[in-house]
C-alpha cells in the first residue's frame, strides 16, 4: 500500500440534529493511509432527545418522509452537489480505491430512492405503511382486540463507510422507521454521511427527520464515548454494518434492553456447472461473469467472490482458469485494471504451491492484475486483492459443502441450477443465491443478511384490550 502524498489535516464537521458543527478539538488518523483529520468535541446531550420526550419524527407520516427522501435523491448528483464534490476530494485522500472508482460510487448515490421503490420495500417488510404511521387494530380468532405499532426505535448506527450509497441507505432506513439516531461515522469515510445530511438540510433545515439524526466521529472503542452512550436508557439497538475490532468491541455493550443488529462480515463464492464448457464462446462468457463477481471494489467487499467451485475435467478447468485470469485484469466501473497487490501471506502460499504442480496450479502473478489458484480443496489463505481460488468439484451438490456460516452470496451458472442447490446452501448458512455475474445487482424489497432489517429496527408495541 502506498502512502498518500497529501498530509494536511482534514477538517471533519459533525452534524447534530440539523446543525453543522465545526471544531478542531480531537485529532485522528484515517483507516487506510493514516491521513490526519480533526473533529469537534462531542456534546452528548445535544445528540438526541431523551426517552422522556417523543422523537421529532414520530408523528410524521411515512408518505411525507418519502417525499423528503425522493427530493434529496434529486440533489444527490455529483456534478451539481458541492458537498458531494467536497466529500469526494477528501475520500480520494483516505481511500484505498482509485479516484475513478470513487467517482463512480459518487455519481448518483440516491438513485434507488424513488417513491415506488420505497413503498414497495415497506409493503414487503411491513405489509404496508399503516403500522408505521399509527396503531393498527387487529382482532384475534377468539375476538380479542389489540392495536399494534411498529414504534420508532432509538438507534446507534456503526457505519462501514463502503460508499456514499451505503451512507444514503442508512439515512433512508433511519428516516423510514422515524428513529432517533446517532450515526458513528467510520474512519475510512467520516465525510459522506455529513455531505448527504447537509444536502438534506439545504432542502428543509428544520425537517423532523434531520432533528432526529446526529452524525459524529469518535475512534471506535473509545471508552470515554462508548461507556457513556451505549446504554439501554439512551438506545434500543446498535446497528452494526460489517466486522472488525470496533464492532466486536461495541457488541460487548449489548445486553438487556440494548440489542445488537449485526450485518456480519461475509465472504462470497461462485459455483459453475459443466454447462460452461458447451462452447468456446460460452466459456468466455462464463469467465467474464465470474471475473465481474470477483473484482467488485477490487475484491474489498462482502459480495465479491473469493472461491469458485467448478464441474469439469482438469484440462477444461485449467482452460477456464486461464480465461478467468485474463478477465480479472480488465478495467470495470467498480474495479481497476491493476489493483492493490496481493499481500505477503498470499505471495508465500502461492509460491509454495508452484512447487506442488499438478495438484495445484497458478495463473497470473503478484502484480495486482489478477491471480488464479487452482487447488484440490479451498486454500487456507484468504483470497483477496483480485485473487481467486478455483476448486474442481464432481457436482454442484458436492460443492455446497464448501459454503459456511460466513458465506453470504453464491453466484451460480447456469441460472437454472440455483434451484438444485439453494436448500443445501441455505442450510449451510448462505443468505443470497444469484446468477453468476450478478452479485452486485439485486431485486427491490429483498431480505438482507437473513433478515428484513427495518422489521428488526422497530420496536413492536401492543396496546391490548384483551
Partner 1 sequence: MTITAQPVRIEELDAHFQKRRHQVPVLARRAQEAGTTAIRTADDVLPLLFPHTTYKSYPESLVSKGRWEQLNRWLDSLSTYRVDVDVDGVADVDGWIAHLEEAGHLVSSSSGTSGKGSFLDKSARDREVSLQNLLDCLTGMGLPPDRSWNFIPVGPETRVSQHVATRDLLVDSFHRRDGVALPPSAAPEGHHRYMSRLSAMRKAMADGTASPDEVAAFEAEAAQRQQLQDGRLSYLAEQILARPTERFFFSSQFPQLFRLTEVLRELGASDGDLTGGNALTVAGGLKGVTLPPDYRERIFGILNIAPERFLHYYSMQELNLRMPKCLAGRYHVPAGLHLFVLDRDGESLVPLQGGVAEGRAAFFDTTVDGRWGGTISGDKVVAEYGECSCGRPGITIHDDIARFSDLHDDDKITCAGTMDAYVRGFIEG
Using CB under 8 A as the binding rule, whether residue 376 contacts partner 1 is answered as: yes
Using CB under 8 A as the binding rule, whether residue 423 contacts partner 1 is answered as: no
By CB under 8 A, the residues from 298 to 337 that bind partner 1 are 299-302, 304
Using CB under 8 A as the binding rule, whether residue 411 contacts partner 1 is answered as: no
Using CB under 8 A as the binding rule, whether residue 125 contacts partner 1 is answered as: no
**Lookup: cell for 265:** 462480515
Nearer to partner 1, 129 or 385 (CB): 385
Residue of 159, 201, 229, 425 interacting with partner 1 (CB under 8 A): 159
Q: For partner 1, which stretch binds (CB under 8 A), given 116-124, 145-153, 347-355, 453-461? A: 347-355
Using CB under 8 A as the binding rule, whether residue 453 contacts partner 1 is answered as: no
Classified as helix, coil or strand, 292 is helix
Using CB under 8 A as the binding rule, whether residue 244 contacts partner 1 is answered as: yes
Using CB under 8 A as the binding rule, whether residue 253 contacts partner 1 is answered as: no
Nearer to partner 1, 229 or 458 (CB): 229
First to last CA, the chain: 64
Place of cell 452494526: 240
Q: How far is the CB of 406 from partner 1 (least distance, A)?
A: 5
Instruction: Report the C-alpha gap between 45 and 306 in whole angstroms.
Output: 45
Residue of 344, 394, 441, 443 interacting with partner 1 (CB under 8 A): 344
Residue of 23, 134, 265, 414 interacting with partner 1 (CB under 8 A): 265
By CB under 8 A, the residues from 266 to 285 that bind partner 1 are 266-267
Q: How far is the CB of 166 from partner 1 (least distance, A)?
A: 9
Using CB under 8 A as the binding rule, whether residue 1 contacts partner 1 is answered as: yes
Residue of 109, 110, 161, 208 interacting with partner 1 (CB under 8 A): 161
Bridge partner list, 392: 310
Backbone φ, ψ for residue 339 (5° rounding): -95, -175
Using CB under 8 A as the binding rule, whether residue 21 contacts partner 1 is answered as: no
Number of residues forming the site for partner 1 (CB under 8 A): 57
E-state strands within 339-418: 361-363, 371-374, 387-393, 407-413
Backbone φ, ψ for residue 458 (5° rounding): -75, 160
Residue of 23, 429, 445, 453 interacting with partner 1 (CB under 8 A): 429
Strand order through the sheet with 26-29: 10-11, 36-39, 26-29
| Neighbour tally for 306: CB within 10 Å | 20
Q: How far is the CB of 115 from partner 1 (least distance, A)?
A: 28
Nearer to partner 1, 152 or 220 (CB): 220
Q: DSSP for 131-179?
A: HHHSPEEEE-TT--EEEEEEE--EEEEE---S-HHHHHHHHHHHHHTT-
Q: Are 370 and 386 in contact (CB under 8 A)?
A: yes
Q: How far is the CB of 218 from partner 1 (least distance, A)?
A: 9
If we measure between CA atoms, which residue out of 252, 101, 117 comes closest to residue 164? 101
Backbone φ, ψ for residue 20 (5° rounding): -90, 130
Instruction: Report the C-alpha gap between 409 and 11 in whole angstroms.
Output: 37
Q: For partner 1, which stretch binds (CB under 8 A), given 116-124, 131-139, 200-208, 236-244? A: 236-244
> How buried is residue 186: exposed, middle or buried, by Cβ count under 10 Å (0-12/13-18/19+)?
buried
Nearer to partner 1, 29 or 462 (CB): 29
Residue of 50, 352, 442, 450 interacting with partner 1 (CB under 8 A): 352
Backbone φ, ψ for residue 439 (5° rounding): -55, -30
Using CB under 8 A as the binding rule, whether residue 440 contacts partner 1 is answered as: no
Nearer to partner 1, 182 or 267 (CB): 267
Q: Are 265 and 302 in contact (CB under 8 A)?
A: yes
Q: Are 157 and 181 in contact (CB under 8 A)?
A: yes
Q: How far is the CB of 378 from partner 1 (least distance, A)?
A: 9
What is the SS3 assignment for 15-42? EECCEEECCCCEEEECCCCCCEEEECCC
By CB under 8 A, the residues from 187 to 226 that bind partner 1 are 187-188, 219-221
Q: DSSP for 417-435?
A: GHHHHHHHHHHHT--EEEE
Q: Are 376 and 359 in contact (CB under 8 A)?
A: yes
Instruction: Report the C-alpha gap between 3 and 12 in whole angstroms.
Output: 21
Q: For partner 1, which stretch binds (CB under 8 A), given 42-50, 207-215, 349-357, 390-398? A: 349-357
Q: For partner 1, which stretch binds (CB under 8 A), given 127-135, 159-167, 202-210, 435-443? A: 159-167
By CB under 8 A, the residues from 377 to 406 that bind partner 1 are 377, 379-380, 382, 384, 401-402, 404-406
Radius of gyration of the chain (CA): 24
Using CB under 8 A as the binding rule, whether residue 339 contacts partner 1 is answered as: no
Contact residues toward partner 1 (CB under 8 A) are 1, 31, 158-162, 186-188, 219-221, 241-247, 249, 263-267, 299-302, 304, 344-345, 348-349, 351-356, 359-360, 375-377, 379-380, 382, 384, 401-402, 404-406, 428-429
Amino acid at each position: 500500500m502506498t502512502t498518500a502524498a497529501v498530509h494536511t489535516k482534514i477538517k471533519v464537521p459533525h452534524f447534530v440534529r440539523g446543525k453543522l458543527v465545526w471544531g478542531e478539538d480531537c485529532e485522528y488518523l484515517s483507516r487506510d493511509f493514516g491521513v490526519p483529520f480533526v473533529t469537534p468535541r462531542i456534546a452528548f446531550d445535544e445528540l438526541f432527545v431523551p426517552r422522556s420526550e417523543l422523537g421529532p419524527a414520530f408523528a410524521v407520516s411515512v408518505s411525507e418522509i418519502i417525499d423528503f427522501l425522493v427530493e434529496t435523491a434529486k440533489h444527490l448528483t455529483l456534478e451539481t452537489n458541492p458537498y458531494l464534490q467536497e466529500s469526494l476530494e477528501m475520500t480520494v485522500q483516505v481511500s484505498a480505491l482509485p479516484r475513478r472508482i470513487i467517482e463512480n460510487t459518487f455519481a448518483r448515490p440516491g438513485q434507488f430512492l424513488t417513491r415506488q421503490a420505497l413503498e414497495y420495500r415497506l409493503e414487503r417488510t411491513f405489509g404496508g405503511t399503516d403500522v408505521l404511521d399509527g396503531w393498527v387494530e387487529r382482532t384475534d380468532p377468539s375476538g380479542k382486540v389489540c392495536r399494534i405499532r411498529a414504534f420508532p426505535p432509538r438507534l446507534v448506527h456503526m457505519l462501514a463507510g463502503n460508499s456514499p450509497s451505503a451512507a444514503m441507505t442508512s439515512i433512508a432506513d433511519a428516516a423510514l422507521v422515524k428513529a432517533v439516531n446517532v450515526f458513528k461515522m467510520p474512519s475510512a469515510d467520516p465525510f459522506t454521511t455529513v455531505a448527504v445530511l447537509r444536502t438534506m438540510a439545504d432542502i428543509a433545515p428544520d425537517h423532523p427527520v434531520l432533528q432526529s439524526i446526529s452524525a459524529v466521529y469518535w475512534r471506535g472503542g473509545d471508552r470515554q464515548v462508548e461507556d457513556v452512550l451505549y446504554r439501554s436508557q439512551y438506545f434500543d439497538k446498535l446497528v452494526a454494518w460489517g466486522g472488525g475490532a470496533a464492532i466486536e468491541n461495541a457488541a460487548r455493550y449489548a445486553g438487556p434492553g440494548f440489542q445488537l443488529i449485526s450485518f456480519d462480515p461475509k465472504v462470497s463464492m461462485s459455483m459453475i456447472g459443466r454447462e460452461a464448457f458447451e462452447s468456446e464462446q460460452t466459456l468466455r462468457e462464463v469467465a467474464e461473469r465470474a471475473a465481474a463477481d470477483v473484482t467488485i471494489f477490487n475484491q474489498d467487499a462482502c459480495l465479491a467472490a473469493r472461491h469458485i467451485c467448478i464441474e469439469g475435467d482438469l484440462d477444461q478447468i485449467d482452460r477456464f482458469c486461464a480465461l478467468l485470469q485474463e478477465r480479472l485484469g480488465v478495467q470495470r466501473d467498480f474495479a481497476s485494471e491493476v489493483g492493490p497487490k496481493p499481500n505477503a501471506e498470499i505471495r508465500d502460499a502461492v509460491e509454495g504451491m508452484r512447487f506442488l504442480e499438478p495438484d495445484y496450479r497458478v495463473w497470473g502473478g503478484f502484480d495486482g492484475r489478477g491471480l488464479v489458484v487452482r487447488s484440490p480443496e479451498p486454500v487456507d489463505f484468504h483470497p483477496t486483492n483480485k485473487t481467486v481460488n478455483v476448486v474442481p468439484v464432481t457436482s454442484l451438490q458436492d460443492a455446497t459443502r464448501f459454503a459456511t456460516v460466513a458465506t453470504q452470496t453464491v453466484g451460480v451458472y447456469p441460472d437454472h441450477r440455483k434451484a438444485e442447490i439453494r436448500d443445501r446452501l441455505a442450510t449451510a448458512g448462505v443468505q443470497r443465491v444469484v446468477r453468476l455475474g450478478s452479485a452486485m445487482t439485486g431485486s427491490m424489497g429483498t431480505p438482507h443478511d437473513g433478515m428484513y432489517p427495518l422489521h428488526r429496527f422497530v420496536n413492536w408495541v401492543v396496546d391490548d384490550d384483551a
